[in-house]
Homo-oligomer: A and B are copies of this chain.
Amino acid sequence: MKKLINDPKAVVNESVEGFGLAHAELVTVHTDPLFVVRKDAPVQGKVGLVSGGGSGHEPLHAGYVGRGMLDAAVPGAVFTSPTPDQILPATTAVNGGAGVLHIVKNYTGDVLNFETAAELAAAEGVEVRSVLVNDDVAVEDSLYTAGRRGVGGTVFVERIAGAAAERGDDLEAVTAVAQRVIDNVRSMGAALAPSTVPHAGVPSFDLAEDEIEIGIGIHGEPGRHRIAMENADGITTRLLEPITGDLNLGSGDRVLLMVNGMGGSPASELYIVYRKAVALLKERGVTVERSLVGNYITALEMEGASLTVLKLDDEMITLWDSPVSTAALRWGV
């Protein structure tokens, strides 16, 4: 394992510290316990947005703290959910009197830890709602499983709910628009090469030189099936079809499309995937109204990409386009 790190146990702390130094105009980093809040938190009268999860998915979540997006991010250990004693102070720190929304990715660990924190916050008199992002179509959704994982759709939920909070929507309205995004967003990813968790020291899974993993999760969990290597157009088709099928996308639909890099794939490859995804959507009569291409929710240095598609309505477009000023997403300001 070769990494630009010092002590594997200090990776998250040192990295978030560096992040705080680099973006001091946007955020304040609290170190004990570890969480990141918007510089001007709490914003009085505004609904506070908190998200978090295992580290290793940068820029998620700290990169999305700032005006028009999150009020706080809570980084856990690498690929490990944060604990309630981090989530709770983050929640109270961003409560401007209008309540707080927890944006939780649907993993057992995230769900349980945010649940506990929400109970504790409620006990302290903070009104907390939660939404559960579960956009990964690679996972069978069933009453008898942990359900679908939250992946790329999280970025859209954070942005659009963040925009709604910024314009002054109340907790119920912000929760509702977050849920509307969740209901209309789907993702799927593929890995060409695994990543290595610093404290584990070995790759999270093994892939032969001619294999790829379809339906990969962002924690380096193995995906749903393993296939022989294909070209970019083939992989893009495999990722997009379950999404369009699940969303029932058809002629006249407008979408927000993200081609997300898993961390170790060059930008040039993501644009090749984007090119094909746009063509496939066009064939179905679907218009790509807005897009993101880049590393937005990663799995350390994993090679591969994921597609995320959100079926848009007018309000979502307005919210998406409104000003946002975070380390990783910035426009209109």
Contacts and interface: CB of A to CB of B under 8 A. Distances in A.
Contact of A21 (B270, B278, B304): B278
Interface string A273-292: 11100100000000000010
Interface string A1-43: 0111111000110111111011000000000000000000000
A109 interface: no
Contacts of A7: 231
Of A4, A58, A271, which is in contact with the most chain B CB atoms at under 10 Å from its CB? A4
A293 interface: yes
A266 B232 contact: no
Main secondary structure of the interface of A (DSSP, over half): mixed
Given A18-B293, A275-B14, A293-B18, A5 B269 contact: yes
Contacts of A15: 268-269, 271-272, 275
Interface string A212-232: 100000000000000001011
Of A17, A192, A232, A333, which is in contact with the most chain B CB atoms at under 10 Å from its CB? A232
A235 interface: yes
Interface stretch (A111-119, A120-128, A295-303, A308-316): A295-303
A305 B4 contact: yes
Nearest to A19: B271
A328 to B, nearest CB: 9
A274 B22 contact: yes
7 nearest interchain CB pairs?
A18-B271, A18-B275, A4-B269, A58-B267, A15-B268, A18-B274, A2-B192
Interface of A: 2-7, 11-12, 14-19, 21-22, 55-56, 58-59, 63, 192-193, 195, 209-210, 212, 229, 231-233, 235, 263-275, 278, 291, 293, 295, 298, 300-301, 303-305, 330-333
